[in-house]
């Protein structure tokens, strides 16, 4: 009976040791995946920042004006106000157009 108990005890210790080794290996794999995901997140934030700065440059008024002039689309640049009938009348100071 003592030999049987010894074998059972050895098997239990071996099972516990295998579980510990498996859990430590899984913890190392998870830490590695977490580190890879964090570095990917940093890379994506950097890419997002670059895209935001490029978009801001393209949306600047002088850049829009230059692109409108370059493509000659007939679009009105930002800040341009077409003269209205009231503005023209005030500019003519009551005189009629010819």
Counting Cα atoms < 13 Å in the Cβ hemisphere of 7 gives 4
Q: Is the pLDDT of residue 97 over 60?
A: no
Supply the pLDDT for residue 67. 81
SS3 state of residue 74: coil
**Per-residue pLDDT tens digits for 13-63:** 999 999 999 999 999 999 999 999 999 999 999 999 999 999 998 888 888
pTM over 0.85: no
């Amino acid at each position: 009976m003592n030999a049987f108990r010894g074998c059972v005890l050895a098997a239990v210790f071996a099972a516990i040791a295998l579980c510990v080794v498996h859990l430590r290996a899984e913890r190392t794999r998870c830490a590695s995946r977490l580190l890879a995901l964090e570095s990917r997140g940093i890379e994506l934030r950097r890419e997002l920042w670059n895209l935001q700065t490029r978009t801001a440059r393209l949306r600047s008024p002088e850049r829009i004006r230059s692109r409108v002039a370059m493509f000659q689309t007939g679009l009105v640049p930002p800040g341009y106000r077409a003269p209205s009938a009231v503005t023209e009348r005030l500019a003519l100071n009551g005189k009629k157009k010819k």
